[in-house]
Amino acid sequence: MNFLKLAFRRLFRKGEHAFTRIISLAAGLAFGLLLLSEVLYYYSYDSFYPDSDRIYVVHENFKMDQSSDKLESHPRVSGAIAPGLQAEVPGIEAATRLNSLGDHVVYTEDLNSYDANISLADEHLFDVLPIPMVSGNPKEILKSPMTCMVSQELADNMGGNVVGKVISIKNYPDKELTIGGVFKTLPENTNYTYDVLVSMVSTEQFTWDGTNNWMGNDRYYACVKLNPGVKPADLVPAVRAMQVKHQDIEKLEEEYHGIVLQYSFEPIKQIHVNNVKDMIIILATIALAVLFVSLMNYILLTMGTLVTRAKSSAIHKTCGAETKNLQQMIFSETIVLFGISIVGALLMIWALKPIAEAQWGHSLVSLLNPYVIIPLVSLLVLLVFVTSYFPGRFFSRIPVATAFRDYKQKRGRWKLVLLSFQFVGATFILTVLVIVTLQYNNMKNADHGYVAKGVYYGSTQGMDGNKIATVLHELRSMPEVESVGLGFDVPINGASGNNILSMDGKRELFNVADFYEVDANYLSILGIKVDEGDDFTSNQAVANDVLISKKGAELLKLNNGWTDGVIGKQITVTEHGSTTIRGVFPDFVVRSISDPDVRPSVFFYLPEVKFEEQKIENPSASFNIMVKAQEGAQDGLMDKITEAFNIGFPLDDAEIKSLEAEQLDAYKSEKGFRNAMLIGNFIILLVTIIGLLGYTFNESARRRKELAIRRINGATLLDILKAFISDLEFVAIPAVLLGLTGAWFTADKWMQNFAFKAPLHWGVFAACSFFILILVALIAAINYTRTANQNPVDALRQE
Amino acid sequence: MLLQLNNIFKWVNSGGQRIFLLKDINLEVEEGEFISIMGPSGSGKSTLLNVIGMLDSFDEGQYNFLDESVHTLKEKHRSNLYKEYIGFVFQSYHLLDELTVKENLEMPLIYKNFKGAERKAMVADMLDRFNIVGKKDLFPAQLSGGQQQLVGIARALISNPKLILADEPTGNLNSKQGEEIMDLFKQLNEEGVTIIQVTHSEKNAEYGSRIINLLDGRMI
């Protein structure tokens, strides 16, 4: 018998709730599969490289003294480490290193500009991390000075045939690179990405050349490919021998008691998984919760409809159907409903594509790789079997004789169990949603210790140094502008690091978040007030004077034994030399609350005119011009500021940012998570409501006679509702408590990512429980009221 | 001997009491017989028919069908047995709503693993025999009660059973349609099919060669 054809016919039959089942299943599948595919995607990172199981990223593990047992692990090493490993450590088949120059604007000869991530790479790159080439010989290109190769995507944007063409970089205006080849664009699921690869022999043209450094300048991404059968642990003695030979590590360990410097080899496929392991647990938990609730709901509704089809089971049996035939029938129906639900889920995912892509930070198309597709398809097959097995088993076991008389399902506690799973899921996700929302709002609205509203800034990267004075004058003459200043960075972007040395200059006391130089207006633009000493507006301020945060001042007092404060004291800071502390300001949030840099911070003074001179002397130097707008004068101001900036840009390509928007953007991950929770919550609540409606509908049909007898015997509607709803709440209360426990654990784990946490107040949990319990009571009341208000005589007659 | 029931008892326990649905039933049915089972509501007629049709179990006694001891058989063997030899006709026709007439007729053949071409020929024969060729693509809801019962009987007969069990086959039909159906049963019986019917109607019972009366689960 063609069960599939029959299954399609059944879709449109009244009372089968086919579309209700499809919608709730599709919604659950859409959300659950989307989250699960993201989790699986994490496991696909860098698996596209041939022999990826043998590729490892070299990590530098170190500690400076005995104050801690914990080794700091850093995924970058010094320049000479990769070639050293290849030369001196047996078991390594090949080693390579990359040195990122970061995101840049690239110009072609026709002065068209393109955004590109640029990296320096040695000629062994394709021995370890090969990418198919479209044209050119990668080894030759990466050996030749000032030669580069570009991704196919960038080449296509540049017009296709780019080999032999010359490009320049906005930040390095006088350097020209010849394109020697084109490589296939890297997939998105990689830890190390680039659009342009420049030969490493060109390093000194762009930055200080540390390619032969055995220690320090540890900014090289080094990868090795091990010989088959070799394990990272096998390499330890040879690596140590290399360190002894080239780093004189034994002497270092003797001189600096407690210092540890080791190298480890992390499997390239595990790097991303380790970085996001908390998120994997959270996303997988939520995905499985949503899928589980949807499936429970599907089974609950399906069982309900099978009761009404009991006679058809008996008819098939009297015509000779065996158990397996009836199970095949239900299996076919499940296939059809699942098939349609999957199509529906894919359409929903398509509709959610912009949100999902913004949240995940990659295209959804990149999910279409075997690491994601194979487990998901296997899961779907398993789900089809599970969701068809139980209803099929139930349907094939309905006794024939009973089915022909008047088959009614028994009370069936399993239905309540299925329903309670939905209550657990609904409570869990609602509570997590509320907590995530609270955390996001708290972070977004928290006092960061500086003013972001009305502050705009733009980089002078690529600006003509001779025109900076004109740009500043133009900006200052705008009536909407309150103040203009200069500085190397802004708090939301974080800061570089330098060490403050002890008074004798022999010891590093502590590391500081170094914002480098700022002019006299910078701090007032950000609303950072110096509450001890003077700021840089003082006439006494001279270049290289320093302001330090309160935390730093306290550490100085403690370390140096200063009892009379820090103002006017001399300190030595690496890279800056000796400097005088001019003032102390309150600590503010460096980077974001979700990822704060907790080091003390420092600003060094540089008069405006010196900034200009620096830019003229070194066109590659760049800093920010900061603009503080007058209150209420922000409409269209960004365009005006951009126009003023463009005076200094030959190609009119200035990029102005709003500090307030950047600050908000720093929390986009939390916002995305909140939005994902919101959608998940909507789906689970929808599924739960559908499940509850289905359950109460079936229950009121099953207990119609009981309801009628109660009414005839004088029970009021309220009495009946009380009795029926309390049955449900008896199941709902423990389920809600279980959901709350899960939510507490998940939220607690998620909150561990934040230094600043919204309090997990008991009121949040109480309110969420209350909401779910009221929702259950309300839906049950509506459905039972309808049945209870029927004429009891009719109900008994039908019985 | 087609079937033999010896001392069959069936009961349910309710409120600590044993309520007998069938009590000490002894029955022998020869091939080619046409038996009518009569009795008031609740007397156990349908239960007896279900036991004979192996759709319902019994608690005590022995049941032999074509020399097979039904009471000792496992569920799978029992269902194979009734699949092979028994056809069922119901008061409410029990056609499957989502199948056309042709598909309803074809269903038992599929479960008996007949090949497609063979099935097609057998269904065509049956449609022809019952003069319902024009209705083959209609769904049950598009047929009258009499037509539906014709299809029900045709479905019961399509795999050439030795025994037809009919539970009030004319109960939902008007007198004319009922008469037509009973004539059809008579004709089938004359062709050699054994028929056991449950009926409330004295007139319909007369079509049988033997009448069995039941009261409170006991043969009288």
Residue of B nearest to A11 (CA): B98
pLDDT mean over B113-135: 91
Backbone angles phi, psi at B211, to 5 degrees: -115, 130
Q: How far is B88 from chain A (nearest CA, A)?
A: 7
Dig out the tokens for B107 from the structure.
């269903």
Cβ separation of B56 and A317 shorter than 8 Å? no
How would residue A646 be classed by pLDDT, with cut points 50, 70 and 90? very high
Among residues A480, A482, A486, A478, the alpha carbon closest in space to that of A460 is found at A486
Question: A579: Cβ–Cβ under 8 A, 6 or more apart, which residues?
Answer: A544, A545, A546, A570, A571, A572, A573, A604
Q: Cα torsion for B98, B102, B108, B111, to the nearest 10°?
A: -80
Task: Please state the three-class secondary structure of A487-528 as a single string.
Answer: ECCCHHHCCEEEEEECCCCCCEEEEEEEEEEECCCHHHHCCC
- Do the beta carbons of residue A201 and residue A143 sit within 8 Å? yes
Q: How far apart are CA A517 and CA A579, in angstroms?
A: 12
Please name every residue paired with A602 in a beta bridge, in sequence order, or none if there are none.
A514, A548
Residue of B nearest to A324 (CA): B111
How would residue A144 be classed by pLDDT, with cut points 50, 70 and 90? very high
Among residues A189, A132, A128, A186, the alpha carbon closest in space to that of A371 is found at A189
Cβ burial of A516 (10 Å; 0-12, 13-18, 19+) is middle
Say how many CA atoms lie within 13 Å of A421 toward its Cβ. 20
Answer yes or no: is pLDDT of A799 > 70: no
**Pairing between strand A113-121 and A196-199?**
parallel
Answer yes or no: is pLDDT of A740 > 90: yes
Helix, strand or coil, per DSSP, at residue A28 = helix
| Segment B144-203, tens digit of pLDDT | 988 998 899 899 889 889 999 999 888 888 888 888 889 988 998 999 999 999 998 889
Least confident window among A386-390, A645-649, A670-674, B108-112: A670-674
Cβ separation of A321 and B53 shorter than 8 Å? no
Q: How far apart are CA A424 and CA B152, in angstroms?
A: 48
Answer yes or no: is pLDDT of A669 > 90: no
For residue A65, the model assigns a pLDDT of: 63
- Do the beta carbons of residue A125 and residue A183 sit within 8 Å? no
How would residue A409 be classed by pLDDT, with cut points 50, 70 and 90? low
For residue A48, the model assigns a pLDDT of: 94
**Mean pLDDT of all residues belonging to chain A:** 88
Using a CB-CB distance cutoff of 8 angstroms, which residues of chain B are in contact with residue A18? none
pLDDT mean over A371-380: 94
Q: Mutating which of B10, B46, B48, B79 best tests the A interface, going by the most A Cβ atoms within 10 A?
A: B79
Q: How far apart are CA A51 and CA A53, in angstroms?
A: 5
**Pairing between strand B210-215 and B218-219?**
antiparallel
For residue A514, the model assigns a pLDDT of: 94
Q: Measure CB to CB from residue B98 to each of A6, A314, A401 and give the nearest one.
A: A6
How would residue A520 be classed by pLDDT, with cut points 50, 70 and 90? very high
Residue of A nearest to B154 (CA): A319
CA B65 to chain centre: 15
For residue A1, the model assigns a pLDDT of: 63
Question: B100: Cβ–Cβ under 8 A, 6 or more apart, which residues?
Answer: B136, B137, B138, B139
Mean pLDDT: which of A292-296, A439-443, A683-687, B116-120 is highest? Answer: B116-120
| Segment A352-369, tens digit of pLDDT | 888 888 878 889 999 988
The CA-based angle A53-A39-A417, given to 5 degrees, is: 130
Cβ separation of A10 and B79 shorter than 8 Å? no
Dig out the tokens for A412 from the structure.
């069936």
How would residue A14 be classed by pLDDT, with cut points 50, 70 and 90? confident
Answer yes or no: is pLDDT of A78 > 80: yes
How would residue A727 be classed by pLDDT, with cut points 50, 70 and 90? confident
Tell me the residue ranges of DSSP E strands in A46-124: 55-63, 72-74, 92-108, 113-121
pLDDT mean over A629-633: 82
Mean pLDDT: which of A501-510, B12-21, B44-53 is highest? Answer: B44-53
Cβ separation of A318 and B53 shorter than 8 Å? yes
How would residue A634 be classed by pLDDT, with cut points 50, 70 and 90? low
Helix, strand or coil, per DSSP, at residue B215 = strand
Among residues A52, A565, A86, the alpha carbon closest in space to that of A270 is found at A52
The CA-based angle A361-A61-A496, given to 5 degrees, is: 60
Sign of the Cα torsion A464, A465, A467, A473 reads positive
How would residue A411 be classed by pLDDT, with cut points 50, 70 and 90? low
Cβ burial of A746 (10 Å; 0-12, 13-18, 19+) is buried
- Do the beta carbons of residue B125 and residue B101 sit within 8 Å? no
Residue of A646 and A633 predicted with greater confidence: A646
| Segment A178-227, tens digit of pLDDT | 999 999 999 999 999 999 999 999 999 988 888 999 987 888 999 999 99
For residue A580, the model assigns a pLDDT of: 94
Continuous segment of H or E residues that includes residue A294: helix A277-308
Report percent pLDDT > 90 for chain A: 50
Domain count, chain B: 1
Q: How far apart are CA A202 and CA A178, in angstroms?
A: 12
Domain ranges of chain A: 1-53+295-409, 65-258, 414-447+666-799, 455-633
Answer yes or no: is pLDDT of A726 > 90: no
Report percent pLDDT > 70 for chain B: 100
Using a CB-CB distance cutoff of 8 angstroms, which residues of chain A are in contact with residue B56? 399-401
Dig out the tokens for A735 from the structure.
């389920």
Q: How far is B177 from chain A (nearest CA, A)?
A: 23
Answer yes or no: is pLDDT of B130 > 90: no
Q: How far apart are CA A664 and CA A15, in angstroms?
A: 50
Using a CB-CB distance cutoff of 8 angstroms, which residues of chain A are in contact with residue B163? none
Number of neighbours of residue A442 by Cβ within 10 angstroms: 16
CA A280 to chain centre: 10
- DSSP assignment, residue A70? P
- Do the beta carbons of residue B133 and residue B146 sit within 8 Å? no
- Do the beta carbons of residue A692 and residue A700 sit within 8 Å? no
For residue A183, the model assigns a pLDDT of: 97
Number of neighbours of residue A502 by Cβ within 10 angstroms: 14
pLDDT mean over A708-717: 80
CA A586 to chain centre: 31
| Segment A82-138, tens digit of pLDDT | 999 999 999 999 999 999 998 888 999 988 889 999 999 999 999 999 999 999 999
Cβ burial of A391 (10 Å; 0-12, 13-18, 19+) is buried
Backbone angles phi, psi at A677, to 5 degrees: -60, -40
Helix, strand or coil, per DSSP, at residue A16 = coil
For residue A375, the model assigns a pLDDT of: 95
Place of tokens 């047992």: A69
**Pairing between strand A577-585 and A546-549?**
parallel
Using a CB-CB distance cutoff of 8 angstroms, which residues of chain A are in contact with residue B47? 401
**Pairing between strand A166-169 and B86-90?**
unpaired
Mean pLDDT: which of A48-62, B7-21, B41-55, B171-185 is highest? Answer: A48-62
Among residues A585, A620, A270, A322, the alpha carbon closest in space to that of A459 is found at A620
- Do the beta carbons of residue B28 and residue B86 sit within 8 Å? no
| Residues on B contacting A at a C-beta cutoff of 8 Å | 47, 50, 53, 55-56, 76, 79, 82-83, 88, 90, 94-99, 106-108, 110-112, 155, 159
For residue A766, the model assigns a pLDDT of: 94
CATH number of the domain within which B185 lies: 3.40.50.300
Cite the DSSP H helix spans in chain B: 45-52, 75-85, 101-111, 116-129, 145-157, 175-190, 202-205
Helix, strand or coil, per DSSP, at residue A90 = coil
Helix, strand or coil, per DSSP, at residue A596 = strand
Report percent pLDDT > 70 for chain A: 97
Among residues A483, A419, A467, A320, the alpha carbon closest in space to that of A730 is found at A419
Answer yes or no: is pLDDT of A633 > 70: no
Using a CB-CB distance cutoff of 8 angstroms, which residues of chain B are in contact with residue A322? 76, 79, 111
For residue A787, the model assigns a pLDDT of: 75
For residue A306, the model assigns a pLDDT of: 86
- Do the beta carbons of residue A46 and residue A190 sit within 8 Å? yes
Q: How far apart are CA A340 and CA A342, in angstroms?
A: 5
Dig out the tokens for A366 from the structure.
């990149």
Query: Directed axis angle between helix A717-751 and helix A668-702, to 10°?
Result: 150
How would residue A441 be classed by pLDDT, with cut points 50, 70 and 90? confident
Q: How far apart are CA B185 and CA B198, in angstroms?
A: 13
Q: How far apart are CA A734 and CA A731, in angstroms?
A: 6
- Do the beta carbons of residue A436 and residue A679 sit within 8 Å? no
Place of tokens 């959804």: A364
Dig out the tokens for A185 from the structure.
């664009």
Cβ separation of A315 and B76 shorter than 8 Å? no
Among residues A474, A523, A481, A479, the alpha carbon closest in space to that of A654 is found at A474
Continuous segment of H or E residues that includes residue A547: strand A546-549
Continuous segment of H or E residues that includes residue A325: helix A323-351
Number of neighbours of residue B77 by Cβ within 10 angstroms: 12
Residue of B123 and B55 predicted with greater confidence: B123
Q: How far apart are CA A357 and CA A361, in angstroms?
A: 6
Dig out the tokens for A15 from the structure.
């009372």
- Do the beta carbons of residue A699 and residue A411 sit within 8 Å? no
Answer yes or no: is pLDDT of A490 > 60: yes
For residue A67, the model assigns a pLDDT of: 62
For residue A682, the model assigns a pLDDT of: 83
How would residue B39 be classed by pLDDT, with cut points 50, 70 and 90? very high
Answer yes or no: is pLDDT of A596 > 90: no
